[in-house]
């Protein structure tokens, strides 16, 4: 197997040398947040520490954690470490209720992100000669633009088609002869099946970078067999950067975390760091971000790390597939959804009882979310039109607050399970 | 001279409609007329019974969402053009029809049809003045 490496100096750096670089960059980011972000300065002062106390990675446990809630509390720009005039781009993902989680990038951040996505493209065997169809959504979501900048950085030909519109995706895929595809794994499978339905036996695709939602080895094998490609798993989250925080090489034995930019930890239930090989909450400190650096950001993605040498020659640690969540976040067609967002949306709608249940299923290859809510007797009508109007008000409220399209099932009052301490609000029937 | 219709929300779960009819049967309630409006997501059972308030209370006790609506129960001549004549009268006065459904049984030369319109008062006056006979709640009980 031939491995092409975008930045061998950094990607194959001996681990002791990499650690020295992390020590240096950690001191720098701690100093920057202490000086520029009141939230972090206060947190550190509460702990009785100053940047002088952080000698390097060995002192990481002295630093405070950051939670998604902290981003919400400082909505929209409160955690930025540079003046707004230095920010060149904003991205946002869904927050836990109402307001989105906002991140800001300096020009330098965008440059570094492009570099890391360029490395990721090379990891998947994608190079200058390739035509890359980017079918992640473009916009506030980081997927589209993240993949786009990386593909441009390596000099590939980018087709920025964005998400959806399968008929057009298939037409351009064949007409332009794309050799690489970037999208969610479930959408890749969807495209593969649509191609098969059209009787297309072969395309020019040879590689795909898929992420933004959890998937399985079985799904990988299916995508690879149907499309005749290497299906590469990529990981990222907007809070930390976006796609390209980690990515698999062609060995497909875990995703290399770009450790010269992100310091990973695995945190156990007692909030203490766990050694390599143990499963816990993946936590990142951003070492080089300037717009919105984060210390020890808890992703709540459960996984394991390994620092065993990889056959590709890269020295950066690898993370396993995400094996679950330590909170109640759901991923629906690549969109992060918290049940609290749905609840918040339902509270805005007149005519329903505030009891609900979310049922997630995978139909074909796409996730469906059904929100079951109880119809309020006061809003009962003898006409279909009135009740359908209520349904569509609920669908719109969910789309506005949780940024996901759901179907709504109205139920009789009293039929949904009631809270006994913690109500069973989510029924996830997906087999993953 | 309206008739009270009961409308029952039927969620899209197998067995729901059967359950409603069992409750009515157990309480000796006859649906003298009914229609089901169905969508892919839910249904509305609409019916005419002798004692609508009592029936509504009974179904509510069983957890059903029920609404009472005034509708017109009209004697429509049971011959070609009978319905057309009534509908023409309503549309000439710009009274919009939400839905209609017929009774299971006839009354001599008339079909009994339930009309749900957007302006029930106006429709009642119009039809009565035109000599169209309407059923009362008492008539329903006597059917």
Q: What distance in Å separates the CA atoms of residue A397 and residue A395, rounded to the nearest whole number?
A: 6
B 10-69 near A (Cβ less than 8 A):
11-13, 37, 39, 41-42, 44, 46, 60, 63-67, 69
Q: Are residues A341 and A276 located together in one domain of the fold?
A: no
Does residue A153 lie within any of the structural domains? yes
A3 domain-assigned: no
Mutate to test the interface with A, among B2, B67, B69, B71 (most CBs of A within 10 A): B67
Query: Distance between CA A236 and CA B83 in Å, rounded?
Result: 66
Whether A417 and A289 map to the same domain: the answer is: no
Q: Which of A278, A294, A326 delimits the end of a domain?
A: A326
**pLDDT value of position A423:** 56
Give the mean pLDDT of A267-296. 97
Predicted pLDDT at B65: 93
Q: Where are the beta strands (DSSP E) in B1-143?
A: 3-11, 33-38, 42-48, 66-77, 97-107, 110-117
Q: From the CA of A74, how many Å to the nearest CA of chain B? A: 41
Query: Is residue A174 scored above 80 in pLDDT?
Result: yes
Nearest-Cα residue of chain A relative to residue B13 = A411
**For residue B103, what is the DSSP state?**
E
Q: For residue range A56-99, list pLDDT tens digits in order.
A: 999 999 999 999 999 999 999 999 999 999 999 999 987 666 68
Instruction: Retrieve residue A359's tokens.
Output: 């049922």
Can you tell me which residue has the tokens 């996505």?
A117
| Gyration radius from chain B CA atoms | 16
Across A108-122, A127-141, A309-323, B27-41, least confident range = B27-41
Query: What is the per-residue pLDDT across A356-393, written as a single tens digit (0 to 9) for each?
Result: 899 999 888 889 999 999 998 888 999 999 999 999 99
What pLDDT score does B75 carry? 93
Q: What is the pLDDT of residues A303-347, one digit of tens each?
A: 999 999 999 999 999 999 998 888 888 989 888 898 888 888 898
Out of A279, A303, A326, pick the residue that ends a domain. A326
CB contact under 8 A, A383 and B5: no
Measured between alpha carbons, how far is A130 from A153 in angstroms, rounded to an integer?
Answer: 12
Fold that domain B3-69 belongs to in CATH: VC0802-like (3.30.2130)
A314 and A355 in a single domain? The answer is no
| Same domain assignment for residues A115 and A231 | yes
Q: What pLDDT, on the 0 to 100 scale, is given for residue B26?
A: 96
The CATH classification number of B71-142 equals: 3.30.2130.10
At B107, list the tokens: 């009354």
CB contact under 8 A, B7 and A382: yes
Q: Which of residues 367-406 of A touch B (CB under 8 A)?
A: 375, 377, 380-384, 387-388, 391
Please compute the mean of the pLDDT values over residues A248-271 and round it to a whole number. 97
Q: Of the given ranges (A80-84, A180-184, B107-111), which has the lowest mean pLDDT?
A: B107-111
Residue A394 lies in a domain: yes
Edge-to-edge strand ranges of the sheet holding B3-11: B33-38, B42-48, B3-11, B66-77, B110-117, B97-107
Q: Is A100 found in the same domain as A225?
A: yes
We report the CATH number of the domain holding residue A339 as 3.30.300.30
- Are A156 and A139 contained in the same domain? yes
Cα–Cα distance measured from residue A329 to residue A213, given in angstroms and rounded to the nearest whole number: 12
pLDDT mean across residues, chain A = 93
The pLDDT, as a whole number, for residue A97 is 67
What integer pLDDT is reported at residue A347 of this predicted model?
A: 86
Question: Average pLDDT of A202-220?
Answer: 93
CATH code of the domain covering residue A156: 3.40.50.12780
Closest by Cβ to B67, choosing from A382, A384, A414 = A382
Do residues A302 and A405 both lie within one domain? Answer: no
B99 interaction partners in chain A (CB closer than 8 Å): 383
Phi, psi of A97 (to 5 degrees): -145, 145
Does one domain contain both A205 and A270?
A: yes
Report the domain count for chain A: 2
> Is residue A192 scored above 70 in pLDDT?
yes
For residue B126, give Cα distances in angstroms to A126, A131, B88, B93.
77, 72, 12, 8
Domain that holds residue A15: 8-326
- Nearest beta carbon to residue B63 from set A380, A384, A414: A414
3-state secondary structure chain A: CCCCCCCHHHHCCCHHHHHHHHHHHHHHHHHHHHHHCHHHHHHHHHCCCCHHHCCCHHHHHHCCCECHHHHHHCCCCCCCCCCHHHEEEEEEECCCCCCCEEEEEEHHHHHHHHHHHHHHHHHCCCCCCCEEEECCCCCCCHHHHHHHHHHHHCCCEEECCCCCCHHHHHHHHHHHCCCEEEECHHHHHHHHHHHHHCCCCCCCCCEEEEECCCCCHHHHHHHHHHHCCEEEEEEEECCCCEEEEEEECCCCCCEEECCCCEEEEEECCCCCECCCCCCEEEEEEECCCCCCCCCCEEEEEEECEECCCCCCCCCCCEECCCCEECCCCEEECCEEECHHHHHHHHHCCCCEEEEEEEEEEEECCEEEEEEEEEECHHHCCCCHHHHHHHHHHHHHHHHHHHCCCCEEEEECCCCCCCCCCCCCCEEECCCC
Q: What is the pLDDT of residues B19-66, one digit of tens each?
A: 999 999 999 999 999 999 988 889 999 999 999 999 999 999 999 999
Q: What is the pLDDT of residue A207?
A: 98
**Same-domain pairing of A209 and A248:** yes
Residues 123-142 of B with CB under 8 A from A: none
Q: Which residues of B touch A410 (CB under 8 A)?
A: 9, 11, 41-42
In a domain? residue A243: yes
* Tens-digit pLDDT profile for residues A11-52: 999 999 999 999 999 999 999 999 999 999 999 999 999 999
Domains of chain B: which residue ranges? Answer: 3-69, 71-142
CB–CB contacts below 8 A, A to B: 57
- CB spacing of B11 vs A391 below 8 angstroms: no
Q: Do domains B3-69 and B71-142 have the same CATH topology?
A: yes
A305, A326, A347 — which closes off a domain? A326
Structural domain includes residue A48: yes
| Pairwise CB contact (< 8 Å): B66 & A412 | no
- Residue A356 pLDDT: 87
């Amino acid at each position: 197997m031939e491995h092409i490496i975008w930045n061998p100096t950094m990607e194959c750096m001996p681990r002791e040398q990499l650690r020295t670089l992390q020590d240096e960059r950690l001191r720098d980011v701690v100093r920057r947040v202490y000086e520029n972000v009141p939230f972090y300065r206060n947190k550190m002062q509460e702990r009785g520490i100053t940047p002088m106390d952080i000698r390097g990675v060995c002192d990481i446990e002295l630093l405070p954690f950051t939670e998604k809630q902290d981003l919400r509390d400082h909505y929209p720009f409160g955690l930025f470490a540079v003046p707004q005039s230095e920010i060149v781009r904003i991205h946002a993902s869904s927050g836990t209720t109402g307001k989105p989680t906002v991140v800001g990038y300096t020009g330098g951040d965008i440059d570094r992100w492009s570099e890391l996505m360029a490395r990721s493209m090379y990891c998947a065997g994608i190079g200058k000669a390739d035509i890359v169809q980017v079918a992640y959504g473009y916009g506030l979501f980081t997927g589209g633009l993240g993949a786009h900048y990386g593909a441009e950085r390596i000099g590939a030909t980018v087709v920025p088609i964005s998400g959806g519109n399968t008929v057009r995706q298939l037409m351009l895929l064949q007409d332009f002869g794309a050799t690489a595809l970037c999208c969610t794994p479930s959408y890749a499978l969807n495209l593969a099946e649509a191609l098969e339905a059209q009787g297309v036996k072969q395309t020019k695709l040879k590689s795909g970078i898929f992420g933004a939602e959890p998937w399985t080895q079985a799904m990988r094998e299916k995508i690879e067999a149907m499309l005749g490609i290497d299906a590469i798993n990529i990981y990222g989250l907007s809070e930390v950067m976006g796609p390209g925080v980690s990515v698999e090489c062609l060995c497909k034995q875990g995703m290399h975390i770009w450790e010269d930019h992100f310091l990973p930890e695995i945190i156990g239930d007692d909030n203490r760091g766990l050694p390599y090989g143990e499963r816990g909450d993946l936590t990142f400190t951003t070492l080089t971000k300037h717009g919105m650096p984060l210390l020890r950001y808890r992703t709540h993605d459960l996984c394991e790390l390994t620092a065993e040498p990889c056959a590709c020659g890269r020295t950066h640690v690898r993370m396993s597939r995400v094996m679950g969540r330590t909170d109640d976040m759901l991923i629906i067609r690549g969109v992060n959804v918290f049940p609290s967002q749905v609840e918040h949306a339902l509270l805005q709608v007149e005519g329903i009882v505030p009891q609900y249940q979310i049922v997630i299923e995978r139909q074909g290859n796409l996730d469906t979310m059904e929100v079951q809510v109880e119809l309020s007797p006061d809003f009962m009508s003898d006409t279909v039109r009135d009740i359908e109007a209520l349904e569509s008000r609920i669908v719109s409220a969910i789309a506005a607050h949780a940024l996901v399209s759901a179907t709504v099932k109205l139920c009789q009052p009293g039929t949904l399970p009631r809270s006994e301490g913690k109500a069973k609000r989510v029924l996830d029937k997906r087999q993953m | 001279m309206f008739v009270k219709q009961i409308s029952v929300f039927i969620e899209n779960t197998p067995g729901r409609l059967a359950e409603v009819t069992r409750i009515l049967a157990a309480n000796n309630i006859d649906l003298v007329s009914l229609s089901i409006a169905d969508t892919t997501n839910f249904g509305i059972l609409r019916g005419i019974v002798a004692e609508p308030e009592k029936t509504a209370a009974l179904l509510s006790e069983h957890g059903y969402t029920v609404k009472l609506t005034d509708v017109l129960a009209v004697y429509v001549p049971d011959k070609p053009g009978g319905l057309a004549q009534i509908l023409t009268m309503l549309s000439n006065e710009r009274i919009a029809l939400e839905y209609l459904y017929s009774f299971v049984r006839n009354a001599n030369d008339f079909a009994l049809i339930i009309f749900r319109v957007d302006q029930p008062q106006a429709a009642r006056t119009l039809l009565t003045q035109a000599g169209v006979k309407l059923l009362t709640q008492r008539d329903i009980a006597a059917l």
